[in-house]
Amino acid sequence: MPLIFVSLLILANPAPAASAAPEVVISAVTSVGDRRDLLIELLVFNTSNQNEPMDLPDAVTARLSRPSGDLSLRAERAPGSAASLTIAAGGFGTARYRLEVPGGPAPLAGALLEVPGWGARRITMIEDRPTLAAAEPTEVAATDPARVMATAAPTVAGSNQFLANLSAYEPLYAVYGPGTDSDARLQISFKYQVFGAPAGTAGRTSWAQGIYFAYTQRMFWDLGAGSSPFRNIDFMPELFYLAPTVPLKGNIVLGGQAGFRHESNGRSGDGSRSLNTVYVQPQLTVPLGRYSLTAGPRFWVYAGSLSDNPDVKRYRGNSGFFAQIGEEEGLKLSVGGRTNFGTGKGSLDGNLSYPVDRIVGSDLNAYLFGQAFTGYGENLLDYDRRMTRVRVGIALVR
């Protein structure tokens, strides 16, 4: 079984050529073959608000420090790793480099790995232990996005080696608006890349890296009632394919996804609701100075039985849309809707968010979050009921 070394590294002055310097993270170092080779995996983050082309060098110089002495080694770009990437605004790509450790399979526990030409901090590699490799402290500006990466929750190796494949999907929030039978609305959501190393929509080495499982749970809480019961909970597991992004003229990016989604509320009897849809959602992202606009339609067909809610098509239809405009570290507005053009029924759901630390000058990692809904079916139980809701709260993911 190959040894896994999980590490975190910020390259302060990355060498790959780009119109704006990206933030580069070494996400994993893996021993391969007879343990003479190390495979270094890098995640290259584009923190700008526009697409960034980037050329990766054929080789870089790495330094491996062991008790027996220091070695300067040539790390070559691994077979199958692209020579150039175009990274979407706010996205990331993957690059892999391979270096040979001379002298056969020697113990690497406690060895230090660094890339001097990229201003890298030294990384302590920990062998056969489920802990994060330790990096020597370095000064990072408080406003530098690299600080966020460096202080993120550590990825744990060993039994949790695939944790890096887990990421946010839909917004994660808790909002409140009094005076209704669903005062509070809470949502949790995540997605998981099923195959391969984390690759997002750029830097993939296989189409299978675009296959995701996702889960979203939306809860409607009647806090005004005597026992404060949940009025309804919607469960929404999903399997989808996230298409690679395609750069177009003018820094416009074409993307999208298609998949299968199940929705149900876990009840029985008259309160039971469930449906399945197969959908496709193309979308465009357009840079607008400091802001970016993402928008696209969504089309779906119903699959399987609708016996729990036979007339749901009348209120949901077969089409919808999504639009979002904002800046990465500022105000952001997102709007989504559904409509049945035949009946004129549908819904509109909107979210407005702003970082809390830009309001009160704190280190609180959260967003002030406003949420509004109008139309039919805010939740599955009330799919045929028209309502309007306005709530305010906090979001961790927007």
| Contact call for residues 117 and 61 (beta carbons, < 8 A) | yes
Which residue is associated with the tokens 């105000």?
Answer: 331
Mean pLDDT on 384-390: 96
Q: Each residue of 162-179: b (16+ CB within 10 Å) or e?
A: eebbeeebbbbbbbebee
In angstroms, rounded to a whole number, what is the distance separating the alpha carbons of residues 61 and 269? 66
Q: Cα 112 to the chain's mean position, in Å?
A: 30
Spell out the residues 6+ positions from residue 142 whose beta carbon is closer than 8 angstroms to its own. none
Does 298 have pLDDT greater than 80?
A: yes
CATH number given to 164-397 = 2.40.230.10
Q: Which amino acid is at 70?
A: D
Nearest one of 363, 324, 321 to 346, comparing CA atoms: 321
Nearest one of 382, 372, 383 to 173, comparing CA atoms: 372
The full set of domain ranges for the chain reads 4-161, 164-397
In angstroms, rounded to a whole number, what is the distance separating the alpha carbons of residues 247 and 365? 32
- Position 58 scores a pLDDT of 87
Q: Cα 243 to the chain's mean position, in Å?
A: 14
- Per residue in 2-29, pLDDT (tens digit) is 444 434 333 333 445 444 556 777 777 7
Three-state DSSP class for 165? helix
- Per residue in 234-293, pLDDT (tens digit) is 999 999 999 999 999 888 999 999 999 999 999 999 999 999 999 999 999 999 988 999
Which residue is associated with the tokens 């993957």?
Answer: 94
Q: Which amino acid is at 105?
A: P
Sign of CA dihedral 185, 271, 235, 376: negative
Percentage of the residues of the chain whose pLDDT score is greater than 90: 50
- Per residue in 108-139, pLDDT (tens digit) is 666 777 766 655 445 656 544 333 333 333 33
| Contact call for residues 346 and 375 (beta carbons, < 8 A) | yes
Q: Is the pTM of this model over 0.85?
A: no
- Tokens representing 185? 């609305």
Q: 71 pLDDT band (50/70/90 cuts)?
A: confident
